[in-house]
Structure 1
Amino acid sequence: MDKNNQVSRKARRGCFARFLMLCFALFLIACGASAFFFWDKLVPNREHVEAEFHELEKPVFYKGSYFPVSALGEGEGLKLPLSLVQEWIDPSIIYEQSSDSVIITTKDKVLRFKTSQLSAMMNERPYTLDFPVEKKDEAVYVPIAPLLQLYQIDLRVSEQSGAVILVKQGDSVEWGRMDEKKEIPLRTGAAIRYPIVSEVTPGEQLMIWGEEAGWYKVQQTSGFTGYVSKADVVLDHVEAVPEQEIVAPFIPWKPIGGKINMTWEHVISKNPNTSQITAMPGLNVISPTWFSIADGEGKIRNIADMEYVKWAQDRGYQIWPIFSNGFDPDRTAKALASYDSRMKIIKQLLVFAQMYQLNGFNVDFENVRTTEKENLVQFFREMTPLMHEQNLVVSLDVTPKSNSEMWSLFYDRPALSGIADYMMLMGYDEHWATSPVSGSVGSLPWVEKAVLRLLEEDKVPASKLVLGIPFYTRLWTEEVIDGKTDVSSKALSMETVQSIIKEKQLTPVFSPESGQNYVEYKEDKQLKRIWLEDDTSVKARIELVKKYDLAGVASWRRGFETPNIWGTIEESLQKMP
């Protein structure tokens, strides 16, 4: 017999056997798939399981999701976990450990109430609670009465299960009605293979929170949440919970049909002789540096002057004095640390506002640690409603964004711009007094970048942003000593610079890099350099105000300008682009 033929027949038999095995395997797979399909699609799961929230005595739900911490109490004595309130109602509500207090701030109210006490303060007036804040197992619970008063919310409590369903005004709730003829299982997933968590009675109404693979995610009024087939549900109605504006919003002052034109009055100890102040056409807000934190307890240093107030009022100026932190980080940290010290500051400012007939305040906090970032925001949350109650404008100063902790990083610009009426960008000190290199106090590209970062990154509304412009510049001195360039500077007014230019017979040259005029000269082997602040630079800065439709300008500081600058600002602000 031919051995080659024998090998060939054996090979064919082996191939046929493998083919049969493959077919058998495919048959088994098909059978398994069919069985799975049959089991998954046609055989319902009869197992009943407990709801995920079954260990919670009084679960709270919002849009079909439950909170992991139970509510406490019954009826009007119901209390919600503070952590829930912060997550679902208002993240700005805080618990202050040092005073054992819950502090709620809204656009027009400040409510402070201590644990276990029925007496509270709303806008620093007595407010009585029927049920106190409670602490249990280290968790803080807030009574619902003030929440219902201050926020546009509704709490629906199930008589059947005690579950609480939170609804906010402005929400939209879609309701469905079950088949009238049969009871339907509520399953944990969108298929009949999932176990049953509850039974839905014929005709029962359900809240619909979503849709998945032919199933609705629904919730019973008792709180149970799960899935039912779309075929078993008839869409019934949509409940639109209307929003209701409780109080008219505060509208801060602004010039009719124009821009803010503000200047800062630098007062160290003695107020200026107002009879010597030249005319400032176009100016509408003035901000003297009158108030500052005097100590860590919140006492305020006051150097205000009624004669100056009368002079400003006679000229129709709004008066928004500066309130500063004295640029002392330790004093600032202590003064902002508690509600009591913060409120002590606020109450003094309100008294000063009445005493001196002020129109607002300009808050200038600098040289602050980033650890005080949240306390600074809280200070504004507590101050602004009380200021608005007295029709006072609240503005604050911020630096351009940078990685400097004490100069820039402590400002939570998005949060602060949502609270204050105006935000003044201090568009100067690109090159500061002790800068290791010479340069402009605020080159135009640097200023524009700072404006754009606030508008685009921090979402500060252009209608709130005021561009701070410098009336000062620096005379830079560069001297080569032992092969290294030593740099020093001195701040100069516009008038002084013009005197130097005239005395030295200099001709300013426009610098495209800075967008300013520039001069330099040699003196005693030293190079003197000045980036000018003048008509050219002021006009260019105001063009940025018009380009981005900002709220206006604020100049640091009065007395450093040449008299013609006021006409330049007035004309530039009024002139349409």
Structure 2
Amino acid sequence: IETKHLADKYDRPQTPVTNVAPVTVTPVADYSQPVIVAWHNVTGDSSMSSLKDCEKFLKYINVISPTWFALSDNEGSIASIGSAAYVESCHEKGIKVWGLVSNLTYPEVSTSTVLNDPSKRAYMIEQLLALAGQYKLDGINLDFESISAEDGAAYVQFIREFCLKAHEKNLVVSVDNYVPKEYTSHYNRTEQGIFADYVIIMGYDEHTSASDEAGSVASLDFVIEGIENTLKEVPKEKVINGLPFYTRYWTVDANDMILDIQTLPMSKGIETVAAAGVTAEWDDTTGQNYAQWSDGTSTNKIWLEDVRSLQAKLDVMKAHELGGVAVWQLAFGTEEAFAVIDEYYLPKTE
């Protein structure tokens, strides 16, 4: 700039902020049929072998989301364990593949550092898009958890930037979210619902391995709360509710202090009750079969996830006309569980 012109004055008409055209976001997703997505928890080079182990479940789903990608350093690098053969195999079966990217795989990485730096966000986005192209993915599932309130705005900006770039590549973007609570309002589900194709509720972990009291992984009221509060911010066709294919087996002392917690796949939970020689009874409050038994010094408690509990949750989901269902995770399933979801969601063909 020539300094002699800095003093020159001229009038320029100003455009009011209210007249600025909003960003137009065109979803890539096809909302004409519901999504049935199973997260597939894989490690190392186990993708193909694990997929083969779960082959009997694949006929019940139309999307699979393998845990392939992870934020791996403070520069925004993405580690990958993807498999082109895996994607090809799924596509041959008519199953779309959404690669999952997590910020939890490498605990030493500062998600905050990456999210708050525009150049690092851009680098992360660039890599994810390149990986999606390399493996011929149909979408990306963003699984960024434990985001602080201070980082909320930067996280939402990352979602905006990523969705706009991903949609240019015809990639479906889904974002994983906790059941809404005031302390997670900074996840800004309203904005997610504008930019992302799907907002997925992780409708479980009501009680976790870190809880100080025994309880259900996903009671019916907890699931209803998650759905109804998410729908206050996100259009129903964009909402997917995640169901647990697992339960927790609690051992407590006479004062209900926790002595032991085990996380069990759905079938193992049912087997544990049978092995104890007790019968689980339906609990209307939680919408689950519940069992407890004692050996005299401690008491065992378990709130089962089974076909009946899934049906109760699916009834709520169908009543709210959600965009679909997700399950954590594929290998924890049973044919009976997948079949009941199939009855609710998959279109029938003769």
TM-score, normalised on structure 2? 0.89
If each structure's strand is expressed as a fraction of its own residues, which one has the higher value?
1
Say yes or no: does 1:460 pair with 2:234. Answer: yes
Instruction: Classify 1:574/1:314 alpha carbon distance in 2 versus 1 (closer, same or farther; 3 Å).
Output: closer
Conserved in 2, the CA contact under 8 Å of 1:424 and 1:466? yes
Aligned counterparts, 1:75-90, within 5 A: 78=12, 80=14, 85=17, 88-89=19-20
If each structure's helix is expressed as a fraction of its own residues, which one has the higher value?
2
SS at match of 1:107: coil
Runs of 4+ in 1 over 3 A off after TM superposition: 78-81, 327-330
SS at match of 1:321: strand
1:496 aligns with one of 268, 272, 278? 268
Task: Return the alpha-carbon distance in structure 1 between the equivalents of residues 142 and 225 of structure 2.
Answer: 23
Quote the RMSD (CA, aligned, Å).
Answer: 2.3
1:305 aligns with one of 66, 70, 83? 83
Match of 1:287 in 2: 65
Instruction: Classify 1:418/1:487 alpha carbon distance in 2 versus 1 (closer, same or farther; 3 Å).
Output: farther
TM-score, normalised on structure 1? 0.55
Q: Deviations over 1:472-497 (max 9, x none)?
A: 100011113xx673354210011211
SS at match of 1:279: helix
Match of 2:55 in 1: 278
Aligned counterparts, 1:227-306, within 5 A: 249-254=26-31, 256=32, 258-272=33-47, 273=49, 274-280=51-57, 281-306=59-84
Task: Return the alpha-carbon distance in structure 2 between the equivalents of residues 518 and 575 of structure 1.
Answer: 33
| Structure (1 or 2) with the larger CA radius of gyration | 1
Q: Deviations over 1:89-114 (max 9, x none)?
A: 268xxxxxxxxxxxxxx336xxxxxx
SS at match of 1:453: helix
Aligned residues: 336
2:316 aligns with one of 512, 521, 544? 544
Match of 1:140 in 2: none
Unaligned runs of 5+ in 1: 1-71, 92-105, 109-248
Higher relative contact order at CA 8 Å, sep ≥6: structure 1 or structure 2?
2
Unaligned runs of 5+ in 2: 1-8
SS at match of 1:410: helix
Conserved in 2, the CA contact under 8 Å of 1:438 and 1:487? no
Aligned counterparts, 1:521-532, within 5 A: 521-523=293-295, 525-532=297-304
Q: Deviations over 1:496-554 (max 9, x none)?
A: 11221232222120001100111111236211111001100111111111100000100
Shift of 1:292: 1.3
Identity of aligned residues (%): 31
Match of 2:3 in 1: none
Conserved in 1, the CA contact under 8 Å of 2:213 and 2:257? no
Say yes or no: does 1:560 pair with 2:332. Answer: yes
Match of 1:202 in 2: none
Instruction: Classify 1:297/1:79 alpha carbon distance in 2 versus 1 (closer, same or farther; 3 Å).
Output: farther
Conserved in 2, the CA contact under 8 Å of 1:545 and 1:551? no
Match of 1:147 in 2: none
Match of 2:123 in 1: 344
Match of 1:369 in 2: 148
Conserved in 2, the CA contact under 8 Å of 1:373 and 1:411? yes
Instruction: Classify 1:384/1:80 alpha carbon distance in 2 versus 1 (closer, same or farther; 3 Å).
Output: farther
What letter matches 1:271 in structure 2? S
What letter matches 2:34 in structure 1? K
What letter matches 1:477 in structure 2? T
SS at match of 1:320: strand
Instruction: Classify 1:79/1:366 alpha carbon distance in 2 versus 1 (closer, same or farther; 3 Å).
Output: farther
Say yes or no: does 1:381 pair with 2:160. Answer: yes
Conserved in 2, the CA contact under 8 Å of 1:271 and 1:305? no
What letter matches 2:128 in structure 1? L
Q: Deviations over 1:119-155 (max 9, x none)?
A: xxxxxxxxxxxxxxxxxxxxxxxxxxxxxxxxxxxxx
Aligned counterparts, 1:463-474, within 5 A: 463-474=237-248
Task: Return the alpha-carbon distance in structure 1 between the equivalents of residues 308 and 297 of structure 2.
Answer: 30
